[in-house]
């Protein structure tokens, strides 16, 4: 397991380890095929009681278009409680615009 970002697509939430930042951020593929991310300002808050000695506080959340990303983002979600049914997509972007979307078939048992 590692860090993953969340992608909203067609009203559903998916996970991805292929997004540009990989810092537990939120992304969205909009109906027009553009890629967006939730940006924010962050500041370190020192707190001796926190196990890391402090924490990152985010504020001023806003959505911004990811205009400079070119590449593939694979994203997936679980469809059942037994983790046996998955839905996965491969999306290829050029300068933040979706150029190709493909459904990935789950591996056969």
Summarised one tens digit per residue, pLDDT across range 51-85 is 889 988 888 999 999 999 999 999 999 988 887 88
Contact 26, 38 (CB under 8 A): yes
Structural domain contains residue 109:
no
User: Which residues, listed in sequence order, are joined to residue 38 by a DSSP beta bridge?
Assistant: 63
pLDDT of the residue at 37: 95
Q: For strand 26-29 and strand 5-9, is the pairing parallel, antiparallel, or unpaired?
A: parallel
Q: How many domains does the chain have?
A: 1
Structural domain contains residue 53:
yes
Confidence of residue 9 (pLDDT cuts 50, 70, 90): very high
Contact 92, 99 (CB under 8 A): yes
Structural domain contains residue 46:
yes
Interior/surface letters 55-88, b for 16+ CB within 10 angstroms, e for the rest: eeeeeeeeeeebeebeeebbbbbeeeeeeeeeeb
Asked whether residue 86 carries a pLDDT value surpassing 90, the answer given is: no
Structural domain contains residue 89:
yes
To the nearest 10°, report the CA torsion of 5, 2, 95, 92.
Answer: -100
């Amino acid at each position: 397991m590692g860090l993953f970002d969340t992608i909203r697509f067609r009203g559903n939430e998916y996970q991805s380890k292929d997004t540009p930042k990989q810092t537990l951020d939120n992304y969205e593929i909009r109906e027009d095929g553009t890629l967006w991310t939730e940006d924010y300002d962050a500041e370190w808050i020192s707190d001796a009681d926190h196990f890391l000695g402090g924490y990152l506080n985010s504020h001023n959340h806003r959505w911004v278009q990811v205009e400079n990303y070119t590449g593939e983002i694979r994203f997936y979600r679980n469809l059942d409680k037994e983790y046996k049914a998955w839905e996965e997509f491969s999306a290829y972007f050029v300068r933040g615009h979706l150029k190709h979307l493909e459904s990935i078939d789950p591996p056969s048992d």
